[in-house]
Structure 1
Amino acid sequence: MSDLLHSALQPAGGTQTPPAVPYSRPTTPGTGSFPVQIGFVGLGAMGGLMAKNLANHRAAHVHASPPILVWNRTQGKADSLFKELGQHKIRVAQSLEQVATECDIIFTALANDDTVKSVFEQFAQTLKHAPPGRQKIFVETSTIYPTLAGELDTLISSIPHCHLIASPVFGTPHVAAAAQLVIVMSGDYRSKKEVAYMLVPAVGKKVIDLGGNIEKASTFKLIGNSMILGTLEILAESYTLAEKSGIAASEVHSLVKDIFPAPGIIRYSERMSNDQFDGTTGFSIDGGIKDASHIRRLTAVHNSPMPSIDIAHQHLITARAIHNSKVQAGKQTVDVLDWSGIVAGTRVAAGLDAFESTHASVVQED
């Protein structure tokens, strides 16, 4: 079905460009004649920016749209977002139970599989005691192992009128802030169609539909992250070789911009070249290790080796171990290590300092 819609929405004549949203628009606004109440759970580096963009867009473009109801494990982030956007765009929920009962569409953006499972179990427990009388859609945007998506689907679909779609996103916090995320979806077709037009262009620039199998979107996200992680490993090895051979990091970064002009690659290259590893403005190394572990598990299940990910996984662990030792000694320069800190693993293996390169002292020979 999605292929037919995709073809039908192609422009006539000339170069055909895939549509940003591969579905026709819903025939009615929202899920009915009532205002759609949106909830957002998880306001971390990505979730906070997604919730902010969604709230701003709906306030500007959707008539009589109620404020988004947000919840975060540490309420300070929810309070900060409320202070920034105001009561007409944001409400702060006091509990997950409030989000589950009051919201029609609920987005989750959480750190790891255990947290995702715990949150959805609380949703399910609440709604089994107070079954909804109208459609409710859950949109799971976290990076999780595919079988967990299947478990969540079974859990949520056992509740009347409830549907789940898996909808992980591609992009750094910088990309999320610019509402340029690439959004992947799998699961219930009507729910995907409903949610897609909420997210584009409010949060992202396009939707990729992977069909009805709920696990496909999570699998696709891990495949995409394997490309990013593999690139990080190559960058780390290249910067380390450059340092050992006396070539300035600025020259390597310039080359990256010339031959790999992708925003994400350039940003990670810039971090490595300048020893900027603050994960509070990027992607934490804990998240990187979690994703690498999921990718390795997936490769084992499908008998499809990825040696580069095995190596990258070890270098991520090495970098985290070194950072943790510096934390214990009170010598860390950042509280949260970004996964571009993977370069610490290759540097140490080459006999260099983990987080402070000597690139700045490289002297060019005549």
Structure 2
Amino acid sequence: MSDLLHSTLRSNSSTNIAGMSSGAQTPAVPYSRPTSPGAGGNPIQIGFVGIGAMGALMAKNLANYRATHVPGSPAILVWNRTASKCEALLNELGPSKIRIAQALEQVATECDMIITNLANDEVIKSVFQQLAETLKDAPPQRNKIFIETSTIYPTLAGELDLLISSIPHCRLITSPVFGTPLVAASAQLVIVMSGDYRSKKEAAHTLVPAVGRKVIDLGGNLEKAPTFKLIGNSMILGTLEIFAESYTLAEKSGIASAEVHNLVKELFPAPGLIRYSERMSQNYFDASTGFSIDGGIKDASHIRRLTAVHNAPMPSIDIAHQHLITARAIHNSRVQAGKPTVEVLDWSGIVAGTRVAAGLDGFESPAGVVEEE
């Protein structure tokens, strides 16, 4: 969902996979190609569940890539609770690349590989319960791989595995991704994987380079990839909090936001950081090309829960969580008053929380120098 880690990794081509010796080059796909991909050597049927801001772009890139690079590959079967999002994708790509499932049960029974990208843990668990119930009534006769790409709390992986592993020939891997919709659109996501080795091989060679640019393997424990994703997001969120506080102090002390942004570009020359800084400096908080504040609050809640379990305090995340909630409350009040600045607030809007705490306007901070009294 966030592109800070993506930007950092991209700037260092010698970044190591966990377990590799320092200085070793990280392959884009850290597995050999499966010797017998798919069912009987035929192209597999892929299903994609969750055609949201990220999912639609991932499904689109996957469909385009397979149509060009995998001869005879069937159209991607897509399903979303809001059917209009699937219809928009079908209209854009055509029936040779996209088919719309009439029900979630159709995805369960027809697909060899099912990729999910959904909003929150509750929705994910509900979807997997429906998939599992369908397959228990109609057990598959060949291998079926489930790839969960959302940001989840780690213990949910175990719950999902109990559902899936009880079904013959079914395997689950957790595979969260790093990157904003802008990164997803260019198929440059960084993909993290945990779970069954053979399934990871199949998934990695399906997703890279179609959807992402590299895979980081975290072993067989399904909880490791979701944990790693939360650790990465804690770095990004902590940086956003520092930026928000610095912009607020600059405004209070009479420093133009443009000057702060120029300093960010000098000190933190990572595209992801620069993009978030630019949003704060220009009061541009539209999540249509970013990451929603609701998603940020969900992730912050997961991170705080994880820090409590492991007795590893992250006070910066505690404060960031408060400021995210404050920013969302201000935005919601503007929506109710008929004065929204954007439809969906980006999590860079966290700066509204620090501004209000300092006695400033949340979303309409002047870009220029504050006049001295």
TM-score, L = length of structure 2:
0.93
1:231 aligns with 2:239: yes
CA drift of 1:5 comes to 10
CA drift of 1:261 comes to 1.3
Query: Does structure 2 conserve the Cα–Cα contact (< 8 Å) formed by 1:5 and 1:22?
Result: no
CA drift of 1:6 comes to 5.9
Query: Does structure 1 conserve the Cα–Cα contact (< 8 Å) formed by 2:193 and 2:200?
Result: yes
2:150 corresponds to? 142
1:353 aligns with 2:361: yes
1:268 aligns with 2:276: yes
Query: Does structure 1 conserve the Cα–Cα contact (< 8 Å) formed by 2:194 and 2:224?
Result: yes
RMSD of Structure 2 on Structure 1 (CA): 1.8
1:130 aligns with 2:138: yes
- The one-letter code matched in structure 2 to 1:246 is G
**d(CA) in 1 for partners of 2:151, 2:160:** 13
Q: Which of the numbers 348, 355, 373 marks the counterpart of 1:340?
A: 348
1:278 aligns with 2:286: yes
CA drift of 1:17 comes to 1.5
**d(CA) in 1 for partners of 2:299, 2:333:** 23
After TM superposition, the structure 1 = structure 2 runs for residues 98-247 of structure 1, keeping only pairs within 5 Å, are 98-247=106-255
1:313 aligns with 2:321: yes
**d(CA) in 2 for partners of 1:255, 1:62:** 46
1:283-308 CA-partner distances (Å, limit 9, x unpaired):
11111111000000000000000000
Query: Does structure 1 conserve the Cα–Cα contact (< 8 Å) formed by 2:192 and 2:225?
Result: yes
After TM superposition, the structure 1 = structure 2 runs for residues 22-171 of structure 1, keeping only pairs within 5 Å, are 22-171=30-179
Query: Does structure 1 conserve the Cα–Cα contact (< 8 Å) formed by 2:18 and 2:218?
Result: no
Q: Which of the numbers 313, 334, 342 marks the counterpart of 1:326?
A: 334
- The one-letter code matched in structure 1 to 2:206 is M
**d(CA) in 1 for partners of 2:220, 2:24:** 26
- The one-letter code matched in structure 2 to 1:238 is S
1:142-172 CA-partner distances (Å, limit 9, x unpaired):
0000000111011100000000000000011
**d(CA) in 2 for partners of 1:331, 1:140:** 37
Where relative contact order (Cα < 8 A, 6+ residues apart) is larger, the structure is 2
Query: Does structure 2 conserve the Cα–Cα contact (< 8 Å) formed by 1:246 and 1:363?
Result: yes
**d(CA) in 2 for partners of 1:360, 1:37:** 55
- The one-letter code matched in structure 2 to 1:355 is F
**d(CA) in 1 for partners of 2:287, 2:138:** 40
TM-score, L = length of structure 1:
0.94
Query: Does structure 2 conserve the Cα–Cα contact (< 8 Å) formed by 1:69 and 1:93?
Result: yes
1:16-51 CA-partner distances (Å, limit 9, x unpaired):
421111111111233432320000011111111111
- The one-letter code matched in structure 1 to 2:219 is G
1:151-198 CA-partner distances (Å, limit 9, x unpaired):
101110000000000000001111111111110000111000111011
- Consecutive unaligned residues in structure 1, runs of 5 or more: none
Distance verdict in 2 for CA 1:3–1:228, change over 3 Å: closer
- Quick check: 241-250 or 147-156, which moved more? 241-250
Distance verdict in 2 for CA 1:236–1:87, change over 3 Å: same
Query: Does structure 2 conserve the Cα–Cα contact (< 8 Å) formed by 1:210 and 1:217?
Result: yes
Query: Secondary structure at 2:368's aligned position in 1?
Result: helix
Query: Secondary structure at 1:360's aligned position in 2?
Result: coil
**d(CA) in 1 for partners of 2:356, 2:98:** 46
**d(CA) in 1 for partners of 2:72, 2:117:** 25
